[in-house]
Amino acid sequence: MRITDKVLRSFKVARKYDDVHTGRINCVDYSSNGENAVSSSDDDSITLYDIQQGKPIVENLFSKKYGVDLIRFTPRDAETVVHSSNKQDDTIRYLSIANYSFLRYFSGHTARVTALSMSPVEDIFISSSLDETIRIWDLRLPTCQGLTNTMGRPVCSFDPDGLIFAAGVESHVLKLYDLRAFDRGPFSCFETRFNRVCDWTGLKFSKDGKHILICTNGGAIRVLNSFTGSVQHTFSGYNNSKGASLEACFTPDSQFVMIGSEDGRVHVWSIESGMKVAVLDGKHQGPINTLQFNPLYMTFASACTSMMFWLPCGDDF
């Protein structure tokens, strides 16, 4: 099924879970095969979901001492994840969900981790931190395999080929690095400032590699041309008066951008036209903190303190 304006407008909540977490759900991620999703919460818990069955299959995995945030599936399988710690220290943890055991600890950051991004092609991931560094890690090794000082507060993301990573620094400069020669510094730098004061809270490449999405804690998000750094669109018109870090995402076909809002609705824009094509109301009770589209299946997840899975509905689907 192609993702079109009509299909997007037809999406309805198919599954809602109010009790898998007792706190704000701070992150959701899909496995690369689309078969599973994982969520982490401010209540220090992790939940694994089976997408075909549309239900949790592993619940109540807790990290009470260290907390859990920015959870990401590894490329190895759908039962191992890495996640940041948001309580006692800033160590990144490599966890086997299957037997609930930590496989490795990645220590080095000295302040809160702001982003984690897995390579789509190998056992490597990058992390950025308020300590003003971006670190490169190998899942097989406990020590940092590379480090760059960003000279400002960074967020980071891999491109879909795993060859380039982007760093957003101090909420106004975008730097592109070649993973194989990152120690030489960025090969491209673009400056882009928003008209309103806001912090950049995340970066995402579109699956076709042509666009970079800048997420913020303000009332606007931005899409850049990943080759030239030029601004293609600035999308606004959704509620975020309290400055929440609302997550935005691309659809897998790279044609649309979605973001949640503090009033619990999902807003969708066309990248081609720049027009808003849908506003979806799942009756979230609070701000939609995290939003992810499944990489292979026609479904997406949104979360506040409740987790919701959406499907297209109607006679044509």
| Core vs surface per residue 159-192: b (16+ CB within 10 A) or e | beebebbbbbbebebbbbbebeebeeebeeebeb
pLDDT for 159 equals 97
pLDDT for 312 equals 96
Domain layout of the chain by residue ranges: 5-35+104-312
**CATH topology (fold) of 5-35+104-312:** Methylamine Dehydrogenase; Chain H (2.130.10)
Segment 253-282 shows an average pLDDT of 96
HSE-CB at 229 with a 13 A cutoff on CA atoms is: 15
Separation between Cα atoms, residue 134 and residue 112, nearest integer Å: 12
pLDDT for 59 equals 87
pLDDT for 197 equals 84
Q: Which residues contact 246 (CB under 8 A, 6 or more apart)?
A: 215, 217, 238, 240, 259, 260, 261, 262, 287, 288, 289, 291
Task: Read off the pLDDT of residues 247-262 as tens digits, 9 standing for 90 and up.
Answer: 999 999 999 999 999 9
Question: Is-contact 84 113, C-beta < 8 A?
Answer: yes
pTM: 0.95
**Token duo for residue 205:** 């490449």
Task: Read off the pLDDT of residues 180-199 as tens digits, 9 standing for 90 and up.
Answer: 999 999 999 999 999 878 99
Separation between Cα atoms, residue 13 and residue 22, nearest integer Å: 20
pLDDT for 164 equals 97
